[in-house]
Amino acid sequence: MAEGRGTEAETLEERPGSLFRVNRSFRLLFAAAAVSMFGTQIRLLALPLVAVIVLNASPGQVGVLGMLGTIAFLLIGLPAGAWMDRVHGRRRVMVVADLVRAALVGSVPVAYALGVLALPQLYVVVVLSGFATVFFDVSSQSYLPAIVSRDRLVEANSHLGGMEAVNNVAGPAGAGFLIQLITAPLAAAVDAVGYVWSALCLSRIRDREAPPPPPEGGKRHLVREIREGLVLVFGHPLLRAIAINGAMVNMSVSMIIVIMPLMFQRELGLSAFTLGLFFAVDGIGMLLGALTARRVTAWLGQGRGLWIIGLAVVPACAVFPLVDRGIWLWLAGAAWLVLNYRIGVNNVILISFRQQVTPTHLLGRMNATMRFLMHGVLSLGAALTGLIGQFAGVRTALWVGAAGLALAWLPLYFSPMRKMRELPREEPES
């Protein structure tokens, strides 16, 4: 028996059948992830709506709330990956992170019931929840091989990816309906219960993790490890273009998501359920993009196909900010679907390419660097949205976000990817 691994993961090869049937640990992990992801959809809608409806927050204050929700990735995104590579007990980190988030989010409906809820509390809740989320996400990415044998990782990730896609479609609509039914503060209580459920499921997993390998030379150098990841990404012409493209897309999407509750509630007078349905469209677009990515890029070519699709969806960027009641709501929804279709295609092709082109011993640092860039800009986008919305208006902020999406294909075009039909499958020699 291999050291540090439970018997269940080791004997999967001898027990054919669905992972849900033969692997209790995977069932528990899947259940935890499903409930936690739905809770996250509730939180993403509920807390901004609490600020807008209950606390009458200004566009600037909503922007600050969005910025604080993701600032943890900017502050500790790079060192968190290196830290967690040294930890023996990632499952415990995930359980603690879930319980911390449950306590923080659960404090919102309690304060609301007591009549003491205020914006400073929301700020504290989102920033501390963001720190817990960083450690949860980094741990979860490395934990799956501890409970699933490597020859079934693709199957396991397929199940988890499918569940995430369904959540992206059904989650926002369900969250919007729940918020409209029981109010945004009380909906936050459901999110807190989801985190507790996730922690309970994870705590029941019996498989043990293998201890991390000792560092080369017997000593780790955090700063050097972080620098190697940065040098890899920014020194590689294709990875650099992918990073800039992803940062532009994420920053623009962050601006749109932050400002939409204000647009729907105050400018258009639409319900939380309508907002949830609108956000569900992005899940449909991303799912369609993921399902057709290989076929479309096989026709257009992997490299050049990505910037061609990016250029082709630019007209949708001009339609989306015109969102209004009536027919313009439907047209804006269609444009939002088209824009997220492009994101779905990029996710499938570019994430696979990143994994193929990066040396194995640098995969963790490459992913940490990409996460730092692509999640860190979410805070910058939210802050910029607050400033623009406060001083130039909500719709102006929407136009700026759409403009960023319209230009995001340019880094790919001005890279060697422009003429590539096939992306390289191994690290090119320097």
CATH (domain of 105): 1.20.1250.20
> Do 199 and 297 fall within a single domain?
no
Which of 319, 282, 309, 289 is closest to 409 using CA atoms?
309
> Do 168 and 110 fall within a single domain?
yes
Confidence check: pLDDT of 1 > 60: no
Q: Residue 79 is encoded by which pair of tokens? A: 């060192």
Domain membership of residue 326 as a residue range:
221-430
> Do 252 and 199 fall within a single domain?
no
What is the reported pTM? 0.72
Q: SS3 helix, strand, coil % of the chain, rounded to 5?
A: 85, 0, 15
Q: Residue 75 is encoded by which pair of tokens? A: 């502050």
Q: What is the pLDDT of residues 359-371, one digit of tens each?
A: 756 766 777 788 7
Does some domain include residue 12?
no
Q: Residue 255 is encoded by which pair of tokens? A: 């601006």
Helices 222-235 & 59-84, crossing angle to 10 degrees?
Answer: 110
> Do 192 and 60 fall within a single domain?
yes
Q: Which of 211, 244, 261 is the last residue of a domain?
A: 211
> Do 192 and 270 fall within a single domain?
no
- Taking the C-alpha atoms of residue 327 and residue 319, their distance in angstroms, rounded to an integer, is 12
> Do 63 and 155 fall within a single domain?
yes
Does some domain include residue 244?
yes
Tell me the CA distances in angstroms from 36 to 163, 190, 260, 363, one per residue in order: 11, 10, 23, 26
Does some domain include residue 399?
yes
Confidence check: pLDDT of 347 > 80: no
> Do 160 and 240 fall within a single domain?
no
pLDDT interval class at 6 (50, 70, 90): very low
For CA atoms 127, 129, 132, 133, the dihedral sign is: negative
> Do 271 and 305 fall within a single domain?
yes
> Do 161 and 76 fall within a single domain?
yes
Question: What integer pLDDT is reported at residue 215 of this predicted model?
Answer: 57
Other Cβ atoms less than 10 A from the Cβ of 315: the count is 12
Does some domain include residue 150?
yes
pLDDT interval class at 142 (50, 70, 90): low
Does some domain include residue 16?
no
Which of 61, 124, 70 is closest to 262 using CA atoms?
61
Confidence check: pLDDT of 131 > 60: yes
Measured at the alpha carbon of residue 124, what is the angle toward residues 120 and 130, in degrees to the nearest 5?
145
Does some domain include residue 271?
yes
Q: Residue 7 is encoded by which pair of tokens? A: 């018997």
- Taking the C-alpha atoms of residue 419 and residue 394, their distance in angstroms, rounded to an integer, is 39
What's the average model confidence in pLDDT over 172-193?
83
> Do 181 and 297 fall within a single domain?
no
The answer to whether 174 and 276 have CB atoms below 8 angstroms apart is yes
Q: Which of 178, 211, 244 is the last residue of a domain?
A: 211
Helices 272-300 & 302-312, crossing angle to 10 degrees?
Answer: 140
The answer to whether 201 and 29 have CB atoms below 8 angstroms apart is yes
What is the number of structural domains in the chain?
A: 2
CA neighbours within 13 Å on the CB side: how many for 185?
A: 20
Which of 150, 157, 142 is closest to 83 using CA atoms?
142
> Which of 20-24, 254-258, 312-316 is least confident?
20-24
Q: Which of 211, 232, 261 is the last residue of a domain?
A: 211
Question: What integer pLDDT is reported at residue 134 of this predicted model?
Answer: 83
Note the helical H segments in 183-221. 184-203
> Do 246 and 384 fall within a single domain?
yes
pLDDT interval class at 124 (50, 70, 90): very high
> Do 297 and 359 fall within a single domain?
yes
Does some domain include residue 1?
no
What's the average model confidence in pLDDT over 141-165?
69
Burial of 387 (0-12, 13-18, 19+ CB in 10 A): middle
Confidence check: pLDDT of 337 > 50: yes
- Taking the C-alpha atoms of residue 63 and residue 1, their distance in angstroms, rounded to an integer, is 53
Residue partners of 262: CB distance under 8 A and separation at least 6: 52, 59, 62, 389, 394
Q: What is the pLDDT of residues 410-422, one digit of tens each?
A: 998 998 888 777 7
Does some domain include residue 4?
no
Q: What is the pLDDT of residues 186-241, one digit of tens each?
A: 888 888 998 999 999 998 887 666 665 555 555 667 777 778 888 888 988 888 99
Q: Taking every pair of C-alpha atoms in the chain, what is the biggest distance, in angstroms?
A: 66
